[in-house]
Copies of this chain bind each other. A is one copy, B any other.
């Protein structure tokens, strides 16, 4: 493994240059959720394509179609597909990342301009997109560039898929993956995605499970238009009153879901699984510090993790159609939509979840004897993802982590959803590994988003080392 050691050395020598490259891409405000920034998103995609092509990669710019954003019809940003190396004797690794970012304004509370990367004395590289997901996307590029500069070949063929809509629902992506499964993605042996985070701030991890999400709108409709509460209060059935009654029936203050039958589909915790919670880098003390307030429901750390990873949960997000500004308004809203979602786990089926939720709410609404009309609308039903951490792809990730960080990675699941994981697994029929670069406190969607310099530099090593490990792993030994 002389090559990987040479690679590590070169990465260490290039740290400042890598940070400059990160500064260059953070400066492109590729906010996919802001129509006025669409050209910057496209510019970021083109930057990536040009850089890979300069290296000798073959790229294909896929235009996934149109979208309607804030009333404007826009072209979706391109999905940049690439192929770097095409040696039939080597394995082929497909990597995914996204080059768009969350919105960010100095006035949101950022300490410095969000699109100017600032290197802090404590090692934080602060800037929008630093950790989500420009750092990891650069990781693959800088790995390939470093190899080329050193006259080293990559140990595998690399394919990539970089999208510019991840922060806005990955519109257009699934269809492209399905369409290209037997074309551009043909021959892929394994997939690696670096777009999530460590469980804590010190110990690296591999992620092998994600929860699904079923999102609902609970609509209650009464009069033809908003009413004045002085005139109509107490004389008509108020949609908002019915709505809060129904929402209060969904989940108790301790997070226990009240919908009958929901827990019946949940896989029981096995003894073997119970053991995997030992020694994880996770403490309530650190969590309460992150939350700025100890509002943790559970007594034991492992129970918190179980409720994050492997039990279903129900959250209430808000209400559309009601008064939502500051100040006072004496309105009776005519039509309101409560928004809530369930996070789902093995072996829950979205269709069954929807059926149980709808039936329960219909029953509860009937009890109210209201003359308003109620409707449950499921707007999204995405499945959970679960992969065995014993797959050789995960072994390769674990071995690379040990080489770079000198520690066995935690095996984690995540409470959120990364839908593309399941799409790749199902469309390509290969194993997908989630190999995070950033730490738990990076603040991906928050103000002052950062990537620690340590995680960036070691992360570039990790992604490269993972390719070496895949190269020498027997992927058929499942």
Q: Is the CB of B318 within 8 A of A319?
A: yes
Contact A237 B222 (CB under 8 A): no
The answer, among B297, B318, B341, for a CB contact under 8 Å with A237, is: B297
Judging by beta carbons under 8 Å apart, are B332 and A223 in contact? no
Give the shortest distance, in Å, between A243 (CB) and chain B (any CB): 8
Nearest to A338 among chain B residues (CB) is B244
- Chain A 308-351: CB-based contact to B (< 8 A → 1; otherwise 0): 10011111111110111110111111000011010100000000
Min Cβ gap A223→B in Å is 4
A365 closest partner in B (C-beta): B253
CA distance A156 to B322 in the complex (A): 47
Choose one: B245, B252, B292, B338; the contact of A224 (CB below 8 Å): B292
Residues of B within 8 A of A265 (CB): none
A252–B315 Cα distance when bound, in Å, is 23
Q: A236-274: which residues lie under 8 A (CB-CB) from chain B? A: 236-238, 240-242, 244-245, 247-248, 251-255
* Closest B residue by C-beta to A445: B228
Q: Does A54 make an interface contact (CB < 8 A)? A: no
A328 touches B339 (CB 8 A): yes
Q: How far apart are A57's CB and chain B's nearest CB, in angstroms?
A: 33
Contact (Cβ within 8 A) A320 B326: yes
Contact (Cβ within 8 A) B331 A318 = yes
Q: Are B241 and A308 in contact (CB under 8 A)?
A: no
- Note all chain B residues with C-beta closer than 8 A to A324: 318-320, 322, 324
**Considering only CB atoms, which chain B residue lies closest to A440 in the complex?**
B231
Asked if A6 lies at the interface with its beta carbon under 8 angstroms from chain B, I say no
Closest to A336 in B: B318
Does B236 contact A297, Cβ atoms closer than 8 Å?
A: yes
Cβ of A89 within 8 Å of any chain B Cβ, yes or no, is: no
Q: Is the CB of B328 within 8 A of A416?
A: no
Stretch at the interface among A369-377, A429-437, A452-460: A369-377
Provide the residues of chain B in CB contact with A72, threshold 8 Å: none
Contact across chains for A295 and B372 when beta carbons are under 8 A apart: yes
Task: Determine if A112 is an interface residue (Cβ-Cβ < 8 Å).
Answer: no
Query: Given A235-B308, A318-B333, A330-B317, are A244 and B247 also a contact pair (CB < 8 Å)?
Result: yes
Chain B nearest CB: distance from A10 CB in Å?
Answer: 35
Chain B contacts for A328, CB-based, 8 A: 169, 215, 317, 339, 341, 379-380
Q: B242 touching A245 by the CB < 8 A rule? A: no
* A88 at the binding interface (Cβ < 8 Å): no
* In the complex, chain B residues whose CB is within 8 Å of the CB of A254: 237, 369
What is the total number of copies of this protein in its complex? Answer: 2
Q: Point out the residue from B213, B322, B447 that lies within 8 Å of A317, measured CB to CB.
A: B322
With both beta carbons as reference points, the residue of chain B lying nearest to A325 in the complex is identified as: B320
| B253 & A237 in contact (Cβ 8 Å cutoff) | yes
**Distance from A293 Cβ to chain B, minimum over Cβ atoms (Å):** 6
Inter-chain contact A222/B295, CB cutoff 8 Å: yes
Q: A228-B416, A245-B248, A371-B295 are in contact. Are A213 and B446 (CB under 8 A)?
A: no
**Complex Cα spacing A397 to B329, Å:** 32
Contact with B along A433-477 (1 / 0, CB 8 A): 000000000000111000000000000000000000000000000
**What chain B residues lie within 8 Å of A291 (beta carbons)?**
222-224, 227, 232, 236
Task: Give the complex CA separation of A373 and B233 in angstroms.
Answer: 29
Residue of B nearest to A370 (CB): B253
Are A234 and B308 interface neighbours, CB within 8 A? yes
Tell me how far the C-beta of A317 lies from the nearest C-beta in chain B, rounded to whole angstroms.
4
Report the bound CA distance from A293 to B293 in whole Å. Answer: 46
Residue on B nearest A298 in the bound complex, by CB: B235
- With A215-B328, A253-B370, A416-B231 in contact, do A317 and B240 touch (Cβ < 8 Å)? yes
Please, could you name 6 A-B residue pairs with CB atoms under 8 Å apart, sorted by A?
A230-B343, A233-B308, A237-B253, A238-B315, A241-B252, A241-B253
